[in-house]
Amino acid sequence: MKIDILHAGYCTAPEHIAIHGGRWKTIHFPAMFALFRHPQFGAMLFDTGYSYRFFDETKNFPKRLYRWMTPVHLKEEDLVVNQLATFNLQPKDITHVFISHFHADHIGSLPDLNCSRYVYLPHAFSGLRHLPPEEDMKHAFLRGLIPSDFDSRSQEVDITKPILLSEEYAPFKTGYDLLGDQSLIGVELPGHAYGQMGVFARDDDGKVFFFVADA
C-alpha cells in the first residue's frame, strides 16, 4: 500500500490551547489527511481536511465563533478534490474515508466524496446525531458538513470483533482490522473527541505509520 500525507488548509490558534504549558504565540495547525492506495481496495482517505463549506457553515452566530476562535486559511489548491487530481484520481475513485472524529477540519470534504464508504467508530457519531442544534458548538460539530446520504454509506467499525495486536503496536493490545488484511488497524483514542479513532497503516516497505489526528 502506498501512503501519502497531505493537508487541506490550516487554522491558527495560540500554542497554549493545544500544548500544556505552551506559549501565547499563534501557531499553525495543518488540517492533515492521508491518501492510501491499496492494491485491492483502491484509493482511500484518512480524514479530509477543510473545504470552503466551513466558511458557509460559520457565517452566522453562534457558529461564527468557530471561525473566530480558530481562523481558517485555505487555498484552492489545498482542496482534497484538487490534490487528488495530482495523483490522477477523481473523487469517485475514493472507495473509503476513515474518519478519525467529526470536527470540521477532519470532515470538511465528505460531501465531495460521494462514492465513498464512511468508516468510523459508532460512538463517534451516535452522540452527535441526536444533539440539539444549539449544542453543536460545544462539540465543534458542524452538521451541515454531513452529507445527506451519510447513513446509507456509513460503515461503522464492528467494535464487537477486536483483534489482538502484537508488541509492534504497544501500548495498544487490541484494535480493529478495518480491511480484513491488517494493512489498516483502527484503535480507540479517547480524549480530544469522544469515539476518536487512530489508524496504523503499513506501506509497501513494511513501514508502519500511526495516524492520530488531534490525539
- Determine if the pTM surpasses 0.85: yes
107-112-114 Cα angle (round to 5):
105
CB-based burial, 128-139: b 16+ in 10 Å, e otherwise:
beeeeeeebbee
Q: Which residue has the higher pLDDT, 197 or 60?
A: 197
Strand 154-156 relative to strand 117-120: parallel, antiparallel, unpaired?
parallel
What CATH number should be reported for the domain holding residue 123?
3.60.15.10
- Rounded Cα gap, residues 213 and 33, in angstroms: 8
Q: Which of 35, 33, 31, 38 is nearest to 10 (CA)?
A: 31
Strand 94-98 relative to strand 117-120: parallel, antiparallel, unpaired?
parallel
Residue 135, domain extent: 2-211
Write down the pLDDT at residue 211. Answer: 98
Q: pLDDT tens across 160-180, in order?
A: 999 999 999 999 999 999 999
- Rounded Cα gap, residues 52 and 104, in angstroms: 11
Q: pLDDT tens across 100-124, in order?
A: 999 999 999 999 998 899 999 999 9
Q: pLDDT tens across 15-48, in order?
A: 877 777 778 888 899 999 999 999 999 999 999 9
Q: What residues contact 199, with CB distance under 8 A and at least 6 apart? A: 46, 98, 100, 178, 184, 185, 186, 187, 210, 211
Q: How many domains does the chain have?
A: 1
